[in-house]
Structure formats: structure tokens, C-alpha cells
Chains A and B, each alone.
Chain A
Amino acid sequence: MAVMALGCLEDQTSGEITTITIGYQPSTHQLAAMVAAEQGWWEEDLAQFGVTEVVMKEFPSGPPEMHAMLSGELEAAYVGAAPPIAAMYEGLDAKIIAGVQTQGSALVLRPELADSYTGPESLRGLAIGTFPPGSIQYTVLSKWLMDNGIDPETEVDLKAMGPSDAATAIGAKTVDAVFLPSPTPTIIETEGNGVIVEWSGTMWPDHACCCLVASGDMIREHPDIVSQIIKTHIRATDYELAHPDEAAEIYAKLQGADVATIKRSLNVSDMHWTDDPHLEVESALAYASVIYDMDRERYEGQGIAVLGETEIFDTSLYDELTR
């Protein structure tokens, strides 16, 4: 077993790295990842470091993605800011190195229930499909409910699922509502299975959503590669900001979605693409606190304290690039 564990770490500690695996999710939040992959920029830009292959690994949501990262499967990941923090509490050696976007998730109610929606009170007793515990969506929704006097553990029925499961569930009426990142809410609305009643930006203004995470080993052993990853990411972010329609087409092509719906989702969502990690620090620290509170007994018992900025972020490489 010890030999197996050593074997897992082999790739990162040897001098040569030829394969980089980047995790991501099927959401327009992370279009930068898909744009760079589709245009071949990852391989192009990383070839100079001896990297011959860049593998993009898709996950339905952040928690399973971070589970893979904890297992050493990913060198970098596009993920909401909350999952890596939850994973860091369990020993994940990684840092947030760049921002990806803020806001951009929506609460969708079944059409019959949408008419009587007046606010968070209307959600009492409903079954709501959303991303699993530890995700941005779960955390933002839970905090919003708590702030409005509703206990997310007992007064609503939060069910963890991925984006396509949730879309199916609300269509089959096995849940009453869903809270998901764009474009799924717009897809659900277009299919007539739900009505968007809230955007996450009204629940928690300017809340950090997706960010770019790199493993501790990569940052320590291959800072040049990590720096290039950030650079390519900035290039992709600039592209999607300047050419949203082309970006939408890339998403539709890769995910097999309807182009018009994706373009619409970009228009209606309150999402804001940005590569600046500093914009995400404040809400990230709030996430760290909320996550800590949810399992306080466990972390205190292990002598772990609430994570602070230096433990979560490493903006040194980003700052150098953008000086």
C-alpha cells in the first residue's frame, strides 16, 4: 500500500511532466477552459515545457472533482471556490491561483409553483435539487435560506445531484425546484419545465463562483507551467469577453446543446467572467467560515482552524503576470 501511495505521487515529483490533467464542469461559467481546449491553446502554450498531452476531465459538479484532485488525479481544476476549500479542510494540498467568474447561478421553480413565489419563504417544505454539500450552489443557497430564517437541513429538502440529473428531475416533477449554474436554468426554462425566479447575485451580491486551482506540487515543482496555465486562461477569458457568440457556439458544439439557448443563457444570466483572483477573496473567506461552521465539531476535534487567505490563495504568479 505504501508503494501504491508513492506511485501516485511519482508524476509530480519527477523532473519531467508530459501529461497535464485539467478538471472542469459542463457550465458556461467555465467556458474559458473549453475555449482554450477547443482552440488547442493548452497544448500549444504548454508544449515548450515538454508537455505533450493535455487531458480535459469533465465532472458533474465540484465535490466529485475535488475528490479526484485529493486522489492526485488532477494538476489543475476549474471549479467553484467552495469545493476546494471543503477539500482543503480534509487535507487537499492546492491553492486558488486565478479567478474565473462570479455569480451566475439561478433558482428555477416548477411552472405551477412559480406563480405563487414571493421569496425564500415560498421554498419552505420544498424538494430542491442542487449541487452537493461543499459546492458553491449548496453553500450560497444554504446561507441565503439561513439568513432568511429557514433551516436548510430541516425546513427544505436539499437533494444533491448533477446538472443533467437535476434537469431531468424537475422535468419529471420528482423535485419542486433546482438551483444550478448557467446554462442549465435557461435550458430548463426553454424546455418549459421551469421558471427562473432568482439569480444568485441577488442572494449574495458579487459572490465568488468559479476559480482556477492548481495542486501544491505543481506550484512548488513547476511554477513555470502553472504561470503559463494562468496566461492561457487569461487569453481564453479575454476571448470569451470579446466574442461571446463564438464562445457560445463552442459550448454548444462540445456539450451538444442548442446554440440559440446557450446564447440566450449568456444574455439573461448575471454571471461576470473575470480572471482576477483578488475579486474572489472576500466571499471565499466567507465560504471558508460557513463550511467550517457546518462541521465545527469535526474540525475543532482535529485541531483545524478556519482557513485564511494565505492558506487558500496563492496570487503571486497571477500578480507577476499582470503587473
Chain B
Amino acid sequence: MDHQLILRNVTRTFDAENGSREALENINLEVKPSEFLCIVGPSGCGKTTLLRMIAGLDYPTSGEIILDGTPVQGPSPDRGMVFQEFSLFPWRTVLKNVEFGLRIQGKRDIKRTAERYIELVGLKGFEHSFPFQLSGGMKQRVAIARALATEPAILLMDEPFGSVDAQTRNVLQEELLEIWKRTRKTILFVTHSVDEAVYLADRVVVMSLRPGRILEVLSVDIERPRKRTSGQVNALREQLLMLLGSHQ
């Protein structure tokens, strides 16, 4: 099977006051098409930096990032991204937010496409609402619709449910899985919640702190829909926690 996204020996060094700091060291990763991949690790391990580099918002100091055979050079709607919060354009309605990428690219049937994705995330009827009128969960749904509307090759998500309450979070996770089932998008999902990773992912990349390295990549061979409290889920959770705990 051909891999869609390949990271080869990716390193990111930052210049600090007392010399340079290696945030990420020798990251090697291969992502399959339509895969749901989670990246977990403690705060500061560089998982967000990694995601940003894939998005094109940051650049590796050395190494390559290749998507569908082409090296990544800067941001593009090919790699859609959902941020944790405050990413909706507050002066635009829901519809206009979702239309944004389509308009910039000058696509056709903009309104219809946007409406389709708004319905996909379950917000039909809210097309003309403004972000300030929406709850946190609804806003993230809009962000997802907006990122999907430009039909990217891969969807990057940086702790997208980190700012909503626990109940909403669970609901959003289930809805995301639904959307993923229907669109078959490749998703790279960064989180520091082990629970979330186990519930969502096909594979989980575990990262270590200082410098950021891939400790291990675990496969989650549990059938969906998964029970959050099942024995298999708990076992995997424990395994992950141990991995993370032992390298603090």
C-alpha cells in the first residue's frame, strides 16, 4: 500500500538564549490513506510543532515531509487544519465561514457545497448565525466543516476538543468518527488525552519530552464503536500511560 504522508528524519531546532534547543529529533513517520492517527505526548513534547510543520506553518530544520509524493512547502488547502479555539472569523456567519476556502480558490457551487458540509456536522439551520451566538462545541463543528469544505487530502487537528466540556467532548468525538466514516479522510489528531486517543485512533503515536522523539507507535485493533470502559480499551490506556509515565 502506498503511504500518503511520509516524514523522514524530521528535526526541528530552536535558537534560545543559551544555545539551541532541539524540539524534535529525528521524526520518522508514515501515514496510510484514510487512517485515523493520534499523536499523544506530554505538554511541550513538540506534537503541535510537528503538526504545524505538516500543515506548512513551520519548517523542519532538517528532514523531509512528503504528501502524495510532493514535498510540503508552506500552507495549502491540501492540508486542512482545525485549531483548538478562536479560529472562526467572527465577522462572518457560519455559512460564510465555511465558504471561505472555496471563495478564495474560486471554486463553483460554493453555497451548495458549504451547505452540504454544514449539514454533515449537524448544524443545518444555523447557516446565518454568527460565531458569538454559538456554543464552544458548535464552533468547533463549524471549524471542521470549514476545513473539510475545501476537500483536503489530509485533515490535521490540534487538540480540537481541548476547550469544550467533557460531555460535549464525548459527543464531538462520536460525531467526528461519523464524519470520518462518511468522508474517509486521513486524519492526524494531536491530543494530550490518552482516553481520547484510544477512543478515536487506528494507531497512536506516543512522543517523549525533551527532545521530542517518537517513543512508540501502537496499533489500536479494537473494533468500533468502542466502549470507553471496555477491558481492551482500559488495557491499552494503561499501556499508553505507562509509556508516557516512564519517560517523564
The answer on direct contact between A and B (beta carbons under 8 Å) is no
